[in-house]
Chains A and B, each alone.
Chain A
């Protein structure tokens, strides 16, 4: 219909005229967030000095425990240094997930907090920049620095290195006249004594039913391992769950299950509640649990893990630190802040005070008067850094399920661990 055509034309003309008038006074294009710069600088190029904003700004992503300290320090220093610092609070795990999306989009932080085992992912995705400890390198805990080194390059400044250790309740041990177990066989004997004597009310030892992280000290005590360690780092082709040592550990656990000495259906909360209420004599846990254990008033003693055929149980080392985003436009400034502000006694001490974990900064680590943390440190002296390689993601469900199947009695030790090792190998092969 003519009317229809006419109306379309009128709308278009009106639209265009409005547009033209708007274009005449169009503002300069706004600063576009650089997602894809068109140029790659030549080696001899001098980059154009960028428009420096009023105050250089640094954005830091931290979790809710640590961001208050960072904010406080930032406020102190920002004035003095003439820069602006913004601290964004996220859940610890969310930092890793969101930086993958926000970083490349230009919305990410300059500095962020994280765990060393994220490096596999972060490096593979080009998200982190090399970090330089400068003159202060020697003041850091060696294994902590090693943990943040991936493929020979240092990507983070560690602030805490932690591991789990063996906790026992001396009051309970005394009550049932047993000594603190030093080998896993001792644990079996102790469990028998206590369970029989208490009529099943109190147990000797318990562990989370589906948790490879807490199970490792048991596995490593018999010589088992997750991934083989070489000079170049962890070797994903060498899965150690079904090695001789691994199977020996699995069989020990299966025996405990058959005898009824280990319970199924235990999670983190349950394990701690049992310990805090005096219903189990020994568990394994980390420094993060110290405050709740202390508050509950239960008596406790921290020691290294019991030994198996091979060695004392070796726990995983988890190292946390500061990293610099590769998408930061102020990497030198970020790096410098880490060296000048973070790598100091005051800062590291404040960090320690707000959440006591064995510090990776030697002056604070050595000065720790806290005997418990000293005990953790010594229990972890033989610890292995948690594998940061991407293939680690295939381990959790497989190994955890194996543990649960053994504890519930559905599978024997050898079978469960062999299945798990196969599952891990399949996943790794399939994923590459």
Chain B
């Protein structure tokens, strides 16, 4: 049913309509102009400072807002602007970021950019062999110029400034008399800084070379100054780093993201580089696929499907049971039934875990007392799965209860009356009227719940971390592991620390798997949408 915007304009006089239209139009233009000005300014600042990944979605949003508001044909899409802008910024942007990461080697050892790695290496210093170290005392003028009194290991005294390094004696010239440690009490024009007083000036003194080549010192700590030398120097033309201490030259290795020497020694830290499809190749050659991949995949689907079915069944049952306004206390009952949803999920999972504990948990203990046997919820693969489904049911039915009760309101009573007149029983009313109509609005949510539970790491992991363990697998696997917990384990518990890029690649592959499943279910539920249009 096409909605024609012009037709809905109203049937007042054309002139009145026109003036109203123009007034509104000017308002829109003004609003856009202000928005554009602010937006362009923000984009300018972002791009100037190199943050074009952030600038891009904002530019897209700005353009869309302009186009949608200026084109009358696109009126219906205008309603999407608030939600659309938010989704582009908060969902699409991280998605693109994740996809990009999957093609890099972003992992432990490669989280810095090349420039950051160079900077980090530039910080390292060393003391050349045979160098003197000095005790020092600082003097400071009112304007903030520093001078240091140095005493070397042989007891010789020196006075240094930013560009001079001179032998000195207390009592000479501007140098005041010595105190009991042999350090001058004063220096003309300068104030002597006590040990603790110097601390606040340390940021200024940090890294500053006093003296003049070849006699230079830096402050090392409150006791010592020494002629520290930068250990790694960078040659931008050749893109190499030289270890001044050993003389070894390191060349940029863009394939792996390291500076590497001819002897295959890598400089730590490495940096992030583009690696193309390397992570995906690794994934498909991974031992994880040789392992119980199919078993885990099957359980993941089973877990998601069963979770949806059980939570929906219970949620719906409860919603229907307390839909009757005559039922006394139903407000209270429904509020009490919501409570599992209001408690932080993690503690819910852990309390259930405690209740199912074979030694101390209430449920096994009670069962043993009553019937002499209790399931091994932690060790037996089957019962562990039942356990996690039970927990998920407890956590999830209130949500289903809420949306079912909302959807139930939408079914007009007269349908039921008509059915009653036709002699339909309660069950028939439910099965042929309530359920189909309910599924129209709730259907896509069941799919969404399936998707959510397919990747429901935050329930599986706190319970038993995927255990009980499977024996004889190439990589660690557990019976309650779902696809995502199983595969992320490779990325975060592999031999190289945390491999985020690898995890991103895994994420994308899982996305495709679930997307396919979702599309199939979506096609299936599309027919329900047609049902509602014909009611």
Q: Which residue of A lies closest to B31 (CB)?
A: A11
CB <8 Å contact, A18 and B495: no
**Segment among A32-40, A240-248, A291-299, A369-377 that sits at the interface with chain B:** A32-40
Q: CB-CB contacts of B191-210 with A at 8 A, as 1s and 0s?
A: 00000110110111111110
Tell me, yes or no, whether B96 is within 8 Å of chain A by CB. Answer: no
CA of A47 to CA of B162, assembled, Å = 12
Cross-chain contact of B119 among A40, A52, A100, A336 (Cβ < 8 A): A40
A39 to chain B, nearest CB (A): 9
- Whether A423 and B30, one on each chain, are in contact in the complex, defined by CB atoms closer than 8 angstroms, is no
- Cβ–Cβ contact A326 & B120, under 8 A: yes
Contact check, B221 vs A132: say whether CB atoms are below 8 A apart: yes
Q: Is A68 an interface residue (CB 8 A)?
A: no
Q: Residues of B contacting A400 with CB < 8 Å?
A: 469
Contact A330 B467 (CB under 8 A): no
In the complex with contacts A332-B219, A419-B472, A423-B475, A11-B29 CB distance below 8 A: yes
A15 to B31, CA, bound (A): 10
Establish whether residues B213 and A44, one from each chain, have CB atoms under 8 Å apart when the complex forms.
yes
Q: Is the CB of B29 within 8 A of A10?
A: yes
B495 to chain A, nearest CB (A): 3
A367 at the interface (CB under 8 A from B): no
Bin chain A's interface residue count. 35 or more
**Hey, what's the 0/1 contact readout for A404-417 against B, CB within 8 Å counting as 1?**
11001011000010
Q: Choose from B37, B124, B204, B223 the contact partner of A15 (Cβ within 8 Å).
A: B37
Whether a CB of chain B sits under 8 angstroms from the CB of A339 is: yes
A7-B222 CB under 8 A given contacts A15-B33, A44-B213: no
* Chain B residue contacts of A428, Cβ below 8 A: 494-495
Chain B minimum-CB-distance residue to A21: B37
**Is B41 in the interface zone, CB < 8 Å from A?**
yes
Residues of B within 8 A of A264 (CB): 358, 376, 378-379
B94 interfacial by beta-carbon distance below 8 Å = no
User: Which B residues lie within 8 Å of A416 (CB)?
Assistant: 471
Select which of B359, B476, B489 is within 8 A of A263 by beta carbon.
B359
Does A130 sit within 8 A of B, measured CB to CB? yes
Interface residues of B in 459-481 (CB under 8 A from A): 465, 467-469, 471-476, 478
- Cβ of B73 to closest chain A Cβ, rounded Å: 10
Is A362 an interface residue, CB under 8 A from the partner? no
Query: Which A-chain residue is minimally distant from B110 (CB atoms)?
Result: A125
Let me know if B29 and A7 touch, CB within 8 A: yes
Residues of A within 8 A of B117 (CB): 126
B366 within 8 A of A: no
Contact flags A133-154 to B (C-beta < 8 A → 1, else 0): 0110000000000000001000
Cβ-neighbour of B122 out of A18, A40, A266, A270 (below 8 A): A40
B40 engages A15 (CB within 8 Å): yes
Find out whether the CB atom of A431 lies under 8 angstroms from the CB atom of B359: no
Contact B495 A22 (CB under 8 A): no
Residue pair B199, A132 in contact (C-beta under 8 Å): no
The residue from B112, B230, B360 contacting A125, defined by CB atoms under 8 A apart: B112
Q: Please tell me if the beta carbons of A14 and B29 are within 8 angstroms of each other in the complex.
A: yes
A131 to B: closest C-beta gap in Å = 10
Shortest Cβ distance from B241 into chain A, in angstroms? 10
Tell whether, in the assembled complex, residue B497 and residue A390 are in contact, meaning their CB atoms are under 8 Å apart.
yes
Distance in angstroms between the alpha carbons of A256 and B36 in the assembled complex = 74
Does A393 belong to the interface (CB within 8 Å)? yes
A35–B199 alpha-carbon span in the complex (Å): 27
Chain B residues with Cβ under 8 A from A393's Cβ?
492-495, 497-498
Q: Which of B282, B468, B496 has the most CB of A within 10 A?
A: B496
Q: Does B269 contact A (CB under 8 A)?
A: yes
Residue of B nearest to A209 (CB): B378
Asked whether B357 is an interface residue with its Cβ less than 8 Å from the other chain, the reply is: yes
Interface string of B324-364 (1 = CB under 8 A from A): 00000000000000000000000000000010011110000
A270 touches B357 (CB 8 A): yes
Given the known interface contacts A408-B468, A410-B471, the answer about A332 and B497 at a Cβ–Cβ threshold of 8 Å is no
Write the chain B residue with the least CB distance to A53: B203
Partner of B471, one of A337, A398, A419: A419
Nearest-CB residue, chain B, relative to A326? B120
The interface residues of chain B lying within 8 Å CB-to-CB of A10 are 29, 33
B33–A330 touching, CB < 8 Å: no
Nearest residue (CB) in A for B241 is: A40
Q: Please provide the chain A residues from 242 to 297 with a CB less than 8 Å away from any CB of chain B in the complex.
A: 263-267, 269-270, 273-274
Kindly identify, within residues 224 to 269 of chain B, every residue whose CB is under 8 Å from any CB belonging to chain A: 224, 229-230, 233-234, 236, 244, 268-269
Which residues of chain B are near A266, meaning CB under 8 Å? 359
Given A19-B41, A126-B269, A265-B376, also A11-B494 (CB < 8 A): no
A-B contact pairs, 14 of them (CB 8 A): A14-B33, A23-B41, A29-B49, A36-B115, A49-B208, A126-B268, A266-B359, A340-B199, A401-B467, A401-B476, A408-B468, A419-B473, A431-B496, A432-B496
**Nearest 4 A-B pairs (CB), nearest first?**
A126-B269, A428-B495, A14-B33, A431-B495
